Structure 1
Amino acid sequence: MAGLPIPVKTSPQQMILSIPDLKDAGSAKLTEVIKNFYNDGSTNQITVHENTTAYDKYRLRARVLRDVSKVNPSTAVFGQNIDFPLCVSPAGLQAMAHEDGELATSRACAKRNIHMGVSSFANYSVEDIVEAAKLGTATAPIAHVMQLYTMKDRKMQERIIRRAEKAGCRAIFLTADSPVLGVRYNEYRNDFRAPENVKLPMLERSTMEVRSKTHDSNFTGFSEDAHSWTHEIPYLRAITRMEIWIKGVVTAEDVVLAREFGCDGVIVSNHGGRQLDQTPATIDVLQECVEAAAGKIRVHIDGGIRSGADIFKALALGAECCWVGRPAIWGLAYDGEAGVTKGLDILYEEFRRCMQLTGCNSVSDISKASLGVVRSDGPLARL
């Protein structure tokens, strides 16, 4: 019929055009219990939802007639150049999404030449995860960081640190927002327990031990709720030479404390909306955290980033780098290492084109001048 568009035949892989596409495709391959564990947040899901939707009120100020033929999205993180200012957050229990779990994620990060965080709840050892990255195609080995909770068993905590150091990890990401787990209705309703085929080698737990208790009970058994700035940071400084970053910061006051205690950086994060519900979206507190940092401490962000434009907006508001967790999980569930690679490639291409369409040739060109904020009375407000 004349005038109608001609359908284009394409493979299912090619139909994954965005991170929301990847979420749908990956989530469809998961059981309801595991899908809820990965995708849901705490109590009424307000924060997990607003983490993403909060980006929508920031608008991009496109610029025209700029020579962007030599655009360069690369940046330096942990003293090493990466392809673009994105890394993969530490996320536990990845083998529930795909049997290769963190090994596949590590290989995909290496191919895309970006850094990766390793969770204490990883289903593979930090040694194996770091080694897996060497099978990628990065021109130089990517950096890994070791996520750590404050633990009641200090000897085990030190063993994790020593193993991470020996494996070559660059930093500790101390998850400081979790003296206890947030109230997660889906885990109670589903009696969530890790599947029989997964292990927690960093926590030195067998499958039988893991399944004997709920996720909440397991966490309560090892997490130290009597943690404090005055104890944790001096303790870590005394036993490791790795950088110390505080993950879970959402206020200027805690950025100031991180500076006072000599931390190397903070990750503005609300644990993906999985801890205290109704905390603000991370993009909405980023500016106050950057101002409190005053250039004396590095500021990264995670939570709700679902596009290259979101990465651009976070950098315009002062973040040095962004981290994503769920997009990697959805990629794993969809197609293992190839699925993670697909997601990272989508974010890279979207970010690169966003830079070009806003007239930015380098990451250093990105600033508040590139953004506006939607106002209820109509005109776009400049930042």
Structure 2
Amino acid sequence: MNDSPAGRRAPTINRQQDIYSKGLGGEKPLVPVDFHELERQGCDAMSPEAYAYIAGGAGLESTMRANRESFDRQRIVPRMLNDVSERDTTVNLFGRTLPSPFMLSPIGVLEMAHGDADQAVGRAAAAEGIPMIFSNQASQPMEQVADAMGDGARWFQLYWSKSDDLVRSLVSRAESCGCEAIVVTLDTTMLGWRTRDLDLAYLPFLRGKGIAQYTSDPVFLESLKNPSQPGNMARPKLSLETLKTLKQIGQSWPGGALDGISSGRAMAAVQEFIAVYSKPSLTWDDLKMLRDHTRLPIVLKGIQHPDDGRKAVDYGMDGIIVSNHGGRQVDGAIGSLEALPEVVEAVAGRVPVIMDSGIRTGADVFKALALGATAVGLGRPWVYGLAIAGEAGVREVIANLKTDFELTMGLSGCKSISEITPEALRRADL
């Protein structure tokens, strides 16, 4: 835990001054500050399949638009003549004091964005002092990323498998590599109807990508000796593309492509992953097993309804993430910011409420905190930074958002997080 004086008070952020000073010598930021340009350059840096997977949403992507519209409907009302010469942006989550109210939301298959993948993101998060939530669908095992982060804060996202033994194994590994919370993602017991991916007929997991937490897990590897039934999967036509895919699957195997292909274990791992990946029959009562298995805080991600917020507390959960998975699961769903106030009211301060989905600017962060969020999760922007410039790109995206938020807070008349309240906002009709 970090509760030193330096950890309790965030230093003044000089990112803006640094950019302008370097500009005197003709140096521009490594990644674009403007989100739209950041996304454009991130798109250019990725394959069409990677960009579709990262940027796309469910159906007509109306939930993605709802996320942004819910921010647009909230307007900041700045207050004047408050002394904001010193600003404290620190927050406390589960005993750790963080310099900013940010964390990196879990995003899988980062190898599609950059070869250094999760380890690059972990190093960037640790350097910027914010927690990274390890993805269950990571490109690198959690132990490798934890080693890369040093003493940086990390949590683990859990997709609840059909195998409770695998669930317990993943959680035990997360505990062993220093994760400080378990984030159970509730809204992805089935994959949403993601039209961009479907039009490209491309799902990375079928090619062995994004399953490193599984192929590094002893329980999962043991299950390959007696595999589950994968269900009715259509066999692809034999072609050069099929052979290329088989090679990709082999390359994903930790023992190397030759061993993975010749032994058949690489393909077996993909098929077993498909068979056990998620549990559509998951209910509230299943949470008891997890509560009995770990002493770590358990955070439920994907809450949108206030009644589910109340039930989370009633079932002994330690935190909530109000999220709609960045609009990737249910088309036509409520924007996360719109859902936030009712969930906060239902929880009534008994557990921290984090919010993600649609955050792009420091003003967005300010609005989420004003409506009751303890902290926010950042998603797509840092993936675009990763695609453009690796670890350094992720760091710049985080630093830009830190500065943007701190300036917004000060210019709105608030010198600490506690002063950011609902009175700072007015709702506007679009």
Same fold (TM over 0.5): yes
Partners of 2:199 and 2:280 in 1: how far apart?
25
Amino acid of the structure 2 residue aligned with 1:325: G
1:112 aligned to 128, 133, 142, which one? 128
Task: For 1:152, give the aligned amino acid.
Answer: K
Report Cα offsets for 1:294-336 as digits up to 9, x if no partner: 1112211000000001000000000000001111211110100
1:50 to 59, 66, 69: 66
Q: Give the Cα–Cα distance (whole angstroms) in 2 for the partners of residues 118 and 168 of structure 1.
A: 11
Question: Does 1:328 find its partner at 2:338?
Answer: no
In the alignment, the residues of structure 2 paired with residue 101 and residue 13 of structure 1 have an alpha-carbon distance, to the nearest angstrom, of: 22
Q: Which residue of 1 aligns with 2:346?
A: 292
1:177-207 Cα deviation digits (max 9, x unpaired):
1221111122222121328684622112796
**Equivalent pair of 2:154/2:180 in contact (CA under 8 Å):** yes
Cα separation, 1, equivalents of 2:52 and 2:75: 31
Instruction: Tell me what 2:358 maps to.
Output: 304
- The amino acid across from 2:283 in the alignment is S
* Distance change (3 Å), C-alpha of 1:308 and 1:273: same
Shift in Å at residue 345 of structure 1?
Answer: 0.7
Q: Look up the match of 1:208.
A: 249
What letter matches 1:123 in structure 2? Answer: S
> Gaps (5+ residues) in structure 2?
1-22, 222-247, 253-265
The counterpart of 1:37, out of the listed 53, 56, 66, is: 53
Partner SS for 2:399: helix
Instruction: Report how far residue 208 of structure 1 moved.
Output: 2.4
**1:181 touches 1:219 (CA, 8 Å); kept in 2?**
no
Residues 346-376 of structure 1 show CA distances to partners (whole Å, capped at 9, x for unaligned) of 1000000011111111111110111111147
- Residue 417 of structure 2 is aligned with which of 358, 363, 366? 363
The equivalent of 1:227 in structure 2 is 282
Q: Residue type of the partner of 2:197?
A: E
Superposed displacement of residue 15, structure 1: 6.6
- Matched residue, 1:155: 165
2:249 partner amino acid: M
> Does the 8 A contact of 1:20 with 1:306 survive in 2?
no
Partners in 1 of 2:271 and 2:185 — Cα distance?
16
Is 1:270 aligned to 2:324, yes or no? yes
Report SS of the residue matched to 1:283. helix
Q: Is the contact between residue 118 and residue 140 of structure 2 (CA under 8 Å) also seen in structure 1?
A: yes
**Which whole-Å CA distance do the structure 2 matches of 1:29 and 1:62 have between them?**
38
Mapped partners of 2:64, 2:32: distance in 1:
23
What residue is the counterpart of 2:195 in the other structure? 185
Please state how far the C-alpha of 1:9 moved relative to its aligned partner. 7.5
The answer on whether the counterparts of 1:60 and 1:372 sit within 8 Å (CA) in structure 2 is yes
Deviating above 6 A after TM superposition, structure 1's stretches of 4 or more consecutive aligned residues are none
Distance 2:28 2:423 in 1: 39
| Structure 1 stretch displaced more, 198-207 or 61-70 | 198-207
- Give me the whole-angstrom Cα distance separating, in 2, the residues matched to 1:74 and 1:104: 24
| Aligned equivalent of 2:310 | 256
Which protein has the larger Cα radius of gyration, Structure 1 or Structure 2?
A: 2
Separation in 2 of the partners of 1:191 and 1:360?
49
Q: Residues 115-134 of structure 1 correspond to what in structure 2 (within 5 A)?
A: 115-134=131-150
| Inter-CA distance 312–327: structure 2 relative to 1 (3 Å threshold) | same
Is the Cα–Cα contact under 8 Å of residues 131 and 152 in structure 2 kept in the other structure?
Answer: yes
* Aligned counterparts of 2:271 and 2:319: Cα–Cα separation in 1: 29
Matches of 2:32 and 2:417, distance apart in 1: 27
Equivalent of 1:282 in 315, 336, 339: 336
Q: What 5-or-longer segments of structure 1 have no aligned partner?
A: 1-6, 135-140, 377-383
**1:182 aligned partner, one-letter code:** G
Distance 2:27 2:35 in 1: 17
- Once the two structures are overlaid, the 10-residue window that deviates more, 308-317 or 154-163, is 154-163
Q: Is 1:343 paired with 2:354? A: no
Aligned amino acid, residue 168 of structure 2: E
Partner amino acid, structure 2, of 1:228? T
1:241 and 2:241 correspond: no
Deviation, 1:115, is: 0.6
CA-based RMSD: 2.3
Matching residue of 1:380:
none
Q: Using the alignment, how far apart are the partners of 1:372 and 1:143 within structure 2?
A: 35
Q: Does the 8 Å CA contact 2:74/2:426 hold for their aligned counterparts?
A: yes
The range that moved more, 160-169 or 65-74, is 65-74
**1:243: how far off?**
0.9
Match of 2:174 in 1: 164
Q: Is the alpha carbon distance of 1:18 and 1:306 closer, same or farther for their aligned partners in structure 2, counting shifts above 3 Å?
A: same
**CA 1:356/1:219 → structure 2, altered by over 3 Å: closer, same or farther?**
farther
- The answer (yes or no) to whether the contact 1:41–1:184 under 8 Å persists in 2 is yes
Report what 1:142 is aligned to: 152
**Does the 8 A contact of 2:193 with 2:329 survive in 1?**
yes
Q: Which moved more, 1:263-272 or 1:8-17?
A: 8-17
C-alpha separation in 1, matches of 2:185 and 2:215: 19
Contact 1:300 1:321 in 2 (8 A): yes
Quote the offset at 1:17 in angstroms.
Answer: 1.9
1:28 counterpart SS class: helix
- 1:131 CA displacement: 1.4
SS at 1:13 equivalent: coil
Relative distance call for 1:175 and 1:41 in structure 2 (3 A) is: same
AA paired with 1:129? V
Q: Is the 8 A contact 1:109 1:341 kept in 2?
A: yes
Contact 1:19 1:346 in 2 (8 A): no
TM-fit CA distance, 1:11? 3.9
Question: How far, CA to CA, are the matches of 1:132 and 1:81 in structure 2?
Answer: 21
Aligned twin of 1:90: 106
Counterpart secondary structure, 1:266:
strand
* Alpha-carbon separation, structure 2, partners of 1:219 and 1:120: 14
